[in-house]
Amino acid sequence: MDTELASWLLAAARAGDAERVRALVPCSGNFEEDGAPDAPGGVTPLMAAAGRGHEAVVEALLARGADA
């Protein structure tokens, strides 16, 4: 997995940027299991988005196969 793409995906999820998440997901590998390698506590994009209440991002990730 491209760690730079994983970092961008995690940042977009944290920011609530659903459009960017949708653009990055096809390119970023197994995003429901892989977070950025330096993510504290192994936080995945789905966790980051849900923890900040970004419903559109959560929906986008789940629609693309994230493990709930």
- Chain centroid to CA 66: how far? 9
Q: Which residues contact 18 (CB under 8 A, 6 or more apart)?
A: 54, 56, 57, 59, 60
Check residue 64 and give its pLDDT.
85
pTM of the model: 0.63
Per-residue pLDDT of the chain (68 residues; tens, 9 = 90+): 578 888 898 999 999 999 998 888 865 555 445 555 556 677 888 999 999 999 999 999 988 888 78
Check residue 27 and give its pLDDT.
53
